[in-house]
Amino acid sequence: MDTKIIVALDYPDASSALSLVQQLDPEICKLKVGKQLFTAAGPRFVEDLVSRGYPVFLDLKFHDIPTTVGLACAAAANLGVWMMNVHALGGGAMLRAARAALGEAGDRPKLIAVTLLTSMSETDMREIGLQDSPQDAVLKLARLTQINGLDGVVCSAQEAPILKQNLGAAFQLITPGIRPASAEIGDQHRVMTPVAALAAGSDYLVIGRPITHAANPLSALLAIHQEISQ
Ligand code: C5P
C-alpha cells in the first residue's frame, strides 16, 4: 500500500532512531532521514532501514554543480531509497542532471525539489537578490522543477491548492508542518491537520514529533493512519 505518512527520524544517532523504528510498522509509514541522522549514522544505516521494509525518503537537499549532484543522486539511488531531494535553486541544468542520474526504470526513486526554504523571510530573499514575493518564487521554482522532469516539491499544505491548480494533479506535493488536532504545535507556525492537508492536495505528509515524541509512537501513528483512511 502507498502509505501517506512519512515519519521524520530527527535523531542524533542510529541507536535512538532504531529504538523508534522498532516500534513502527512499514505497512503504514515511510521514514525520512535528514542531514543530522545521515551525517551521524551514514549510508549503511539507510540500507538497514530499507532492508527492514521501509520506503526511505533521503532528505539531503543536494545543491551543487550539476555533475556532482547527478553523482550524489546516483549514489543515493544505490542505497535503495524511495525518494530523494535537491534544491530547485540549483537551477535547470542541475535539476536535469539529478533527474537523468535516476534513469527511466519504473521503480526508480522519486526525485523532488525544495523550492524556497520556509525559514526564508522576504528580507532574507532581498539580501540574496531575490525580488519575487515568496509565493511567486515558490511557484516559479516549482514550475522549473516540473519542466525538468522531477516528480514534485516539498511545500507547506497552505501552498498545496495553488500548486496543484497550476501544475496539475500528477505533480506530487510533500508537506511537513502537519499536526493532528490533539498534538502540540511546537516550533511550527502554519500547521494543518493530516486530513486537511490531504484535502488541500498534499500527496505525502511528513510528520515528526507528533509521532516520535508520543508516549506510544505506534498508537500515535495508527491514530493518524485511521483518521486519514476514513
Ligand atoms: O517534528 P515535525 O513534525 O515538526 O517535523 C517536521 C519535519 O519536516 C522535520 O524533519 C523538518 O526538518 C522538516 N521540514 C519542515 N519544514 C520545511 C521543510 C522540512 O518542518 N519547510
131-164 pLDDT, tens digit per residue, is 999 999 999 999 999 999 999 999 999 999 999 9
25-64 pLDDT, tens digit per residue, is 999 999 999 999 999 999 999 999 999 999 999 999 999 9
Task: Please tell me the distance between residue 208's alpha carbon and the centre of ligand 1 in angstroms.
Answer: 7
Residue 183 pLDDT exceeds 90: no
Domain ranges of the chain: 5-229
What dotted CATH number matches 5-229?
A: 3.20.20.70
Share of the chain above pLDDT 90, in %: 93
Q: Identify whether the C-beta of residue 195 lies closer than 8 Å to the C-beta of residue 225.
A: no
How much is the average pLDDT of 2-17? 97
Residue 215 pLDDT exceeds 90: yes
Nearest ligand 1 atom to alpha carbon 186: 4
Q: Identify whether the C-beta of residue 5 lies closer than 8 Å to the C-beta of residue 30.
A: yes
Residue 81 pLDDT exceeds 90: yes
pLDDT, residue 182, reads 81
Task: Please tell me the distance between residue 175's alpha carbon and the centre of ligand 1 in angstroms.
Answer: 9
Please work out whether the CB of residue 34 comes within 6 Å of at least one atom of ligand 1.
yes
Residue 181 pLDDT exceeds 90: no
According to DSSP, residue 66 is labeled H
Mutate to test the pocket of ligand 1, among 206, 212, 221 (most ligand atoms within 8 A of CB): 206
3-class DSSP state of 229? helix
The Cα 87–Cα 64 span in angstroms is: 9
- Say if strands 56-62 and 83-87 run parallel, antiparallel, or are unpaired: parallel
Task: Please tell me the distance between residue 59's alpha carbon and the centre of ligand 1 in angstroms.
Answer: 10
Residue 102 pLDDT exceeds 90: yes
Residue 184 pLDDT level (bands cut at 50, 70, 90) = confident
Please work out whether the CB of residue 194 comes within 6 Å of at least one atom of ligand 1.
no
Please work out whether the CB of residue 176 comes within 6 Å of at least one atom of ligand 1.
yes
Q: Which of 61, 110, 140, 164 is catalytic?
A: 61
pLDDT, residue 82, reads 98
What is the pTM (predicted TM-score) of this model? 0.97
How much is the average pLDDT of 182-189? 84
Per the annotation, the verdict on 61 as an active-site residue is: yes
How much is the average pLDDT of 157-184? 95
The Cα 49–Cα 80 span in angstroms is: 10
pLDDT, residue 189, reads 83
The Cα 12–Cα 74 span in angstroms is: 25
Residue 188 pLDDT level (bands cut at 50, 70, 90) = confident
Considering the chain, what is the average pLDDT of its residues? 96
Residue 16 pLDDT exceeds 90: yes
